[in-house]
Structures are given as C-alpha cells and as structure tokens.
Chains A and B, each alone.
Chain A
Amino acid sequence: MTEQRWQTTARRFRVASLWLGLAGLLAFVVADLEIITGTPGTEIGRIATGFLSPDLAATEFIWQALANTLAFAFQGVALGIAGGFVLAVFWHHRLVRAGSAVIRAVHELFWGLIFLQLTGLSPLTGVLAIAIPYAGIFAKVFGEFLEESDQRPALALPEGSGRLTTFFYARLPLIMGPLRTYGAYRLECGLRASAILGFIGLPTLGFHLETAFRQGDYSAGAAVLYVFFLLIGTLRFWLHRRLVPVYLGAALWWAPPLSSAPEGTLRRFFTSDIVPAPLKGDGSLADLWHWFARLMMEQGLPGLWHTLVLSTAALLATAVLALLLFPLVSPRFGNRVSRGAGHLFLMIMRTTPEFLLAFILLLLLGPSMLPGIIALALHTGAIVAYLTGRFTLYLPARADRPRGLQGYAWDTLPRIYPNVLALLLYRWEIIMRETAILGILGITTLGYYVDAAFAEFRFDRALVLIGLAVALNLLVDHLSRRLRQHLRLSINSGQFAREPMP
C-alpha cells in the first residue's frame, strides 16, 4: 500500500465522520430537547428502594416465563438460521437480497403484533416473530461472509462440479467459524427479543417486567430484571455447542410451535383486515386516495420525520458513548478487575430494556425527545463499545506502544476507528427500528402510530405505516452500505472474521 493511499483513506474517514457528525448535530438542533425538572425525588426513591429490595416471590409463574423466553428464543433463532441459510445460498439473486432486507426492516415487536392476529397468543407467534426478521439478518450476514470469503478453493474444484457440491465442500467450511460465533451472539439478541415480546402480551419475562414497572411495583420489576441479567450474563457458561440440540429439543417439547387461532383467521386477515377501509364499502379510487393522503399527512410524514431526527441524534450520541466506553472492556486498558467490572456494566446497559431507561429519564428530564435519545444511545452505545472492545484483541500490539491516554489517542483509536464507524453504520438501521417503543414519551415516531393503528384494529393503516418504516430502513441501509463501500469498510473480513458483528 502506498503512502498516498493511506492518506486518502484517512481523509475519507474524516470526511464521512464529519458529515455524520454534522447530521447528528443538526438532528440535535431541530429535536425537541426541553428539560423539565419537577420533583422526581419520591418516585426515584421508590425505584431505588425497589432495586435494593427485589422481590422474586411477587411475580407468579416467573419460572414459566423464563422457560418460555428460552423456548421462543431457541426455536426462533434456529428457524432464523435455517431460513437465512437457504436465502444466503441464493444471495446472488437481487430478489432474495431485497426480500431479506424487507423482512429484517420490520421490528420483532411489529412482527409479533401481526402474528398475534394470525396465530393468536401462541408459541408459534413468539417463534415466528423472532425467526422471520432473523432469517433476513442471517441471510445478509451469511451472504456477505460467503461473498467475502476466499474464492480460490471453489475455483480449484474440477470443472463441472455441482453447485451444491461446491457450496458444501469449498465454500461453507471457510465460514463455519465466524458463523458459529455469530450464531452464539445472535442467540443473546434472540433472548432479548424474546423477553421484549412479552411487552405485547406473549408470556415471556418481558410480560411481567413491563407490568411491574408500569404499575410502579419496582421490587417485583427489579427481581424480574435481575433474573434476565443472570440469564444473559451466564450465557457463556451454559451455552455449549454440544448442548444446543438438547436445548432445542427441550424448547420444542416445552412450547410446541402451534397456533391457537381458529381456522379462517389467515384468510380473514388478508381478504378483510388489511383491505383499506374505503375499499370495504363502495368507496371509489378517489376515496382510497383521500384515505391514503390523510393517513400520510396526519401520521406517516410526521412519524417519518420524528423517527429520522430521533435516530440520527441517537446515532451521534451512540458514537460518542461507544468511543468513551470501549476501553472499559479492551484488553489494552485497565486490569482484570476493571475489565470484569466493565463487562458487567456494559452487559447491564445493553440488557436493560430501553423503555425502562426512558421511563426513569422521563421522570428526571420531563417529556421530550431527550430521554428517548439518551435511552437509545445508552443501550446501543453499550453494544458498540462491547464489540469494539473485543475488536481491539486483534490489533497489532507493539511492545513499545504508548499506554494510557496517550495510547488511546495515538495508537488504539486510529487503528480501531474504521471498525467503530462500520459498526455504527450497521447500527443506524437498528436504532431506527428501536425508536418504535418510545410512545410513552409522547414522541410521535412511526412506531407510535403503528402501535395506535393496532390498538384501534385498523390493520390497513398499520400495514401502510409499517411499509413506510420499511422504506426508511431500506434507504438508510442502502446509504450506509454505499458509505461502507466508499470507505472500504467491512467488519466481516480479514482479521476480524472471528468476531461477531452486531
């Protein structure tokens, strides 16, 4: 590599960072950041007391909820891997890539809300709500792993080798390692998703967590949250490759993925529920246009705007937090004890549901976008910091490199920065999906209106709004992919292949 090339790359990073930073600052300028400090003392005191005196006995059937959380996650992730695998084999088809992007752009909670209508309050709903978006995510990751893996073994096979033969003998073995690591990481995400599905009524940990905190029963809520922390925090001790089939079998036995909705539900959904209201009567095309225009003006466009502002501001805050926090878990800084504490802290931050952070921040700061931005940034920043910290394991470490603050500024940060940027660009899309659950702040994001449409049993509206969210996600995804290509960023390739991406 020539010196010229190095400079060019660094310059591109600077320019890209500048634009992203400016977009974030602009979002902060137009965002509504009013701070209202009332007298939150009493409530904060009650929350603190609750966290200091968790009451496990207050939640009935908590162990069933734990079992359901595990069962939905294992089945959902397994089905997602299978589906993603099939899709990845056909990754070169544009249609497969577009389809995967669409199914992954819809949040698990929205899939859950849709499947509640189709398959009822059943295990199948929980499994599919995880499996479908995860199939889209796995397809992309597997597909890109395959694209970026070494092509030479495949080329070395004799002329006329079948497609499947080539795949299983010359392609798949190259990517098995990263796939395994990635699968394990995804299971953690799957467990979080499974728990969160409780917010919309599936019998997982989130069901009790949300109820307890919403009703102000903080001791009960803290206990459920601690159980959840324990589950995620001990993952690496009980998640062994050999045991996975056992867990999967137990999951299938415990919660067989069956539907509890009566026959005809599917037909009703497609032939009646999602048909736009004006078409159900004797409405004309003009009525349909009027219905659509009104929906867009009153909900779609304002929702789109608020989602964009909130997520862009949160992205900048995430970037700052991630850069500040990653040394906590990087082997280049601190000692065993400090890194242990760092891991614990980041695990707690990324496992605590955003809605809970948002509620506490709402008490402290009053209703505006600010609690939403901070809640999203704390959660996502902890994830990016954790992954960045892990990346630093593979950085070349010269014996004479500077240490401490010097080392951070002149050695580690410049080396790791491309990865941080790549991670952030991946995360942008995810932050956008997550804004859906901040309706409690009165922030009218797209998710807020989707939620309202489901509550009013207006699935026609819900589908239009979800479609809009998908379009926004595809746009951001496209933008971030272009940017990554422009910067020649890939977090899958080269020395980082052993590490998971978000």
Chain B
Amino acid sequence: MTTRLTALLLAVSFAMTAPLSALADTFVFTAIPDQDESRLMTRFGKVADYLSEELGVEVRYIPVKSYAAAVTAFRNNEVQMAWFGGFSGVQAQRLVAGSRAIAQGVEDPAFLSYLIVNTSTDIEPAEAFPMALQGKRFTFGSRSSTSGRLMPEYFMRQATGQSPQQFFSRVGFSGDHSATIALVQSGAWDAGVVNYKVWDQAVREGQVDETRVRKVWTTPPYPDYHWVIRGDVENRFGEGFIDKVQAVLIGIEDEDILASFPRQGFIPASNDDYAPIVNTARELDLLD
C-alpha cells in the first residue's frame, strides 16, 4: 500500500514540472501583476517564446504576486528584466546599480488615472478636481501602484492642499484596480482612483454598472510602465545584449503579445524619463 502510494506520488510529481529552480544560463523576466492576472503563465509564456526566438537564448517568465515581489526578484537577480510600473521601476533602478530602463509602451509617456465615484455622491464629471469629495470615504488601489496611488495622490494633494488622510474621512488601499471598481460600485467606498486602461477595459467588457459608479475626473498625464534590465546581464549574455533586447522589444508587432501588456507597441525609454516619478515619490515620503 505504502509503496504503491509512493509510486503514485512520484508519478504525479514527474508529470508536472517544478517551476521553482532557476537555470543559470536562462534569461528570466517577470511583469508586475496589474491587470487581468488570469492565465499569466500561458500568456507570458508566449512572450517568453517570442523573446527566446529573437534573442537566441533560453527565456523564461516567472509570475510574481506584488509590486514589491517583482522588485525583490529583480534585486536578487532571480529575474534579469521586468515590466514595471513607474514607481516600482524607479525602486528597481535605485536598488540595482547599473540597471537601465530600455522600453516603454506607446501609451506610457502620457499615462492617466481616473477618479471614480459612487453615483450616490451626486458628483458630476468636471475639468477640476471635485472638492465636494471632502469628508468622504476614499480608496487607493495597491500601495505601490503608480496609477492607483502615487501620481493620483500627488495631483490630489496639489488640488486640495491637504493629504488624503486630512481631506477624506477614511482612506483605504483596496489592493487592486478591479477591487477598487467593485468596492466603489458597491458603495463601500464613496470614491477611488484607477488605472485608465483598466477602467476603459472594464467598461468595454460590460463589467461596470454605470448607474452606480462613474468617472468624474482625469489626472494630468505622467510617465508610467517600462521595461528595466539589469546592467550585469552583458557579463552573462555577451556585450551588446541590452541593445539587442531593446531592439527586440521595440520590434514586437504581434497583436497577441502586445495584448498581454496591454499596449499598442513599445518605444525606447531611459532612466531620465522617470525623474518626475522619483521627485513625486520623495515628496510623498515613499522614497528616502
């Protein structure tokens, strides 16, 4: 009985591949969990296959849980490249000397966040930030999210002259853009901020009850998502590898692959593009 069970266990185990160990000569990347996390392995597996073919080295994707986990994996060289948000990318650049931002989405130099409210607040869409939200309950998305927290908080502080904790009666972190939409729609929170792409997609797919929740304000544009690569990859994959990766990313035209991000295409980026994020993060005391 025992041996049969052991055999069964072993057989079951062999049938699956252990995804935990990293191979030394494999180029590993990750992407921050942000939008539609279903079937990540399958979708980003395709990205890995594409990169592998173009770069001529083995490429693997590993999923991560949070922004911080993505940055930690990058810092510990468990991944050599990652698709970061504005703030997590800046954290990564600062923690790993010599790392470089090499590409961003076509949409990313001018990214936006939407302020959404429950319709029971009677707040109407306007150009200016709705001051009537004073004393209401407000939720951000994830704590380290650029579009769900950092930049909206910065612009809201400019508009209100107060910290969110002073301006609102209660401030929470829903942890995710989709959760923000669900919780504002339910009325648990009066208002919240979301990544504009997540909102637009949710509306397109009919997941939003627009009699309950509406978009009322748009932030000014700011730089957001980008690819960051470790400087020391050239020791392992040869000189010029970073330029090669950059060219391959920018050359992606396959709609299927671009939809994983979701972006229309990629354009070059550099560390300097994210100076506004660094300054904002310092002002909000999220960065020393």
Contacts and interface: CB of A to CB of B under 8 A. Distances in A.
Nearest to A368: B170
A93 interface: no
B123 interface: no
A19 interface: no
A198 B20 CA distance: 14
Contacts of A362: 183, 188
Contacts, number: 169
Interface string A41-79: 011000000000000001011011001100000000000
Given A38-B118, A217-B38, A254-B18, A121 B62 contact: yes
A479 to B, nearest CB: 31
B76 A215 contact: no
Contacts of A262: 76-77
Given A36-B188, A442-B171, A456-B287, A260 B21 contact: yes
A67 B288 CA distance: 40
Contact of B72 (A43, A116, A368, A442): A116
B137 A367 contact: yes
Contacts of A253: 10, 13
Given A207-B65, A367-B189, A64 B16 contact: yes
B59 interface: no
Interface string B1-28: 0100110011011001011111000000
Nearest to A123: B20
Interface stretch (A96-104, A242-250, A408-416): A242-250
A447 interface: no
Interface string A117-154: 10011110000000000000000000000000000000
A211 B76 contact: no
Interface in A243-272: 243, 246, 249-250, 253-255, 258, 260-262, 265
Interface stretch (B172-180, B214-222, B242-250, B251-259): B172-180
Contact of A454 (B68, B77, B183): B68
A499 B172 CA distance: 42
A374 to B, nearest CB: 15
A363 B184 CA distance: 9
Contacts of A242: 2
B212 A121 contact: no
A198 B13 contact: no
A458 interface: yes
Given A36-B188, A40-B188, A211-B33, A250 B143 contact: no
Given A120-B78, A214-B176, A452 B143 contact: yes
Nearest to B184: A38
Given A212-B38, A214-B176, A442-B139, 18 more contacts: A43-B186, A58-B38, A60-B42, A61-B41, A64-B18, A117-B72, A120-B73, A121-B62, A201-B66, A210-B65, A215-B38, A260-B21, A260-B22, A359-B179, A363-B186, A367-B172, A439-B175, A440-B173
28 contacts: A36-B187, A38-B186, A38-B188, A42-B212, A43-B182, A61-B41, A67-B12, A120-B78, A121-B72, A121-B73, A203-B20, A207-B63, A210-B65, A212-B38, A214-B175, A214-B178, A215-B37, A215-B38, A215-B178, A220-B38, A242-B2, A243-B5, A246-B6, A253-B13, A255-B20, A440-B174, A455-B143, A457-B95
